[in-house]
Amino acid sequence: MAGASHPVDYTPHTSAPSATTFSGNTVTYTEVTSVTDADLTPSAFSGSDYTYEEGTVVNLQLQPQGVSYTTSVDISPAGSGLVFSSGFLLQGTLNDVSTNTVYTITVTRANSYGSSIGSFTITSTDVPVQPSNTTPWTKALDFSGSNEHAKQVSSSHYINALKLGGYGVAVANNTDSTKTVDNGFSFPWATAIVFRSDRNNSNQHIWNSGEGAGSSDDNIYLRTDSVGILYFGWGRGSDNNECTLGNVTSTGWNGVYIAFKGGRFNSSNATAANLSDAFSIKRMGSEWNVPFGSVGAELSTTGNWVSTGNRTDRSFSGDFTIAGRGSNRSFHGKVASMVITTLKRNDTIPTDAEIELMITDPIEWVAQHKVGKTYRYPNTTSNYTNFQVGDTQPAQATQVWLMGDGASDSYANGMRNYIQPSDQNWSKLQLNSMVSNDIQTVNIAGLT
């Protein structure tokens, strides 16, 4: 009957009803899936991780254009140099980093129904700074044992700071460990050497100042033993105070700095505590910081002084030699530079910045820390003024040997002191039992 009403079934069903007809026509049903808020939130960001060098310009799209959701970005840790701009771009220039740094980029997408979170990483890699040394670092002396060594032509205590003015006197340490001793017999000094060991299975002196191999001969030295352990030592015959400085291998270049603050002791006072305070010893190089990255920690500690109780208050004579204790304990390896200098009395010992420069760029160290400054002559306690390259007295107070990179260095000339290259009677290194091709071309990572 026209106008008759039909009941409507509002009961939820999990499946379509059985087929029915309406006005003779079969009725079909469409199943509509219920949609929740979670179904209507934006899909989470998904993207690749990236690796770039520091200083790289980054421009990444994190949100498609024309979408109805909004995007926010968090970058951790801070300081990347990147920002999220224009609502869809991650842009900027990666800041310089000291080590490889991983930044986590967290991307949040949101609309009125909810939000989703995705993330990816950007790794900023450190690019080693290319050396800009004034020192060339293209040459080194190569020693292969067999009594090959370089010897300073003068053994006078007027010429080399390691001779301690020719005096043998006990001197107490300065109560201020950051300063040299304020005593007329302290004669403080500092050295720095850059070398590479062949790791020959023998006891070898890398440098030595002293009298030789006899039981009553006094020496100050840097040596390696047969298994490659490095030692600084001071003593007589087999009775030596020694500080262990770690190992060396045959694969890397080493820089070793040793400063003597002026304290000297009889046997009863040559304790680990007194000896450790009398010196400052530091290392750097490819085996410790890659490559020559920074100065290492203090090595003159009570725990590292493994042999003590031997006198350091004797006077001694003899020669300064590189690559042996005179003619024995010959070194197998290369030496690229050696620096010896006086330090002033009651003066602050060199900072890490100066030590690093003394090792890695001795020419620049001279320019910054010597030229125009006051300095102490090797056998005096008073200071001289106006240190100048080319002058005689500065060249006797400071020796800088560049092992072939000096302007006057040659097999015939020997290794000349950079402070006074014309001098051949006092501070020149004479080559003994060596040949011309022992001056070799080298490439030292981090220096050359």
Taking each helix axis from N to C end, the angle separating 362-369 and 352-360, rounded to the nearest 10 degrees, works out to: 130
Residue 272, both tokens:
């680990």
337 strand-pairing partners: 194
Structure tokens at 143: 């020693």
How far does Cα 49 stand from its chain's mean position?
Answer: 31
Query: Which tokens sit at 281?
Result: 């010893």
Q: Is 145 helix (H, G, I), strand (E, B) or coil?
A: coil
pLDDT score for 34: 66
What domains lie within the chain, and their CATH numbers?
41-125 (2.60.40.10), 139-441 (no CATH)
For CA atoms 128, 130, 135, 140, the dihedral sign is positive
Rg (CA), the chain: 36
Q: Among candidates 206, 253, 246, 199, which has minimal Cα distance to 227? A: 199
Q: Which tokens go with 230?
A: 């490095």
> DSSP code of 269?
G
- What single-letter amino acid sits at 365? W
pLDDT tens track, the chain, 448 positions = 455 555 555 566 666 666 567 677 776 766 666 667 777 899 999 989 999 999 999 999 999 888 989 999 999 999 999 999 888 899 999 999 989 999 999 999 999 999 999 999 999 999 876 668 999 999 999 999 999 999 999 999 999 999 999 999 999 999 999 999 999 999 999 999 999 999 999 999 999 999 999 999 999 999 999 999 999 999 999 999 999 999 999 989 999 999 999 999 999 999 999 999 999 999 998 666 667 888 999 999 999 999 999 999 999 999 999 999 988 999 999 999 999 999 999 999 999 999 999 999 999 999 999 999 999 999 998 899 999 999 999 999 999 999 999 999 999 999 999 999 999 999 999 999 999 999 999 999 989 9
Name the pTM for this structure: 0.75
How far is 384 from 133, CA to CA, in rounded Å? Answer: 28
Separation between Cα atoms, residue 183 and residue 41, nearest integer Å: 80
Token pair belonging to 247:
């190992």
Residue 405 CB neighbours (<10 A): 21
pLDDT confidence of residue 185: 95
Beta strands, E only, 48-156: 50-53, 57-61, 70-76, 82-85, 89-93, 101-111, 114-125, 139-144, 149-152
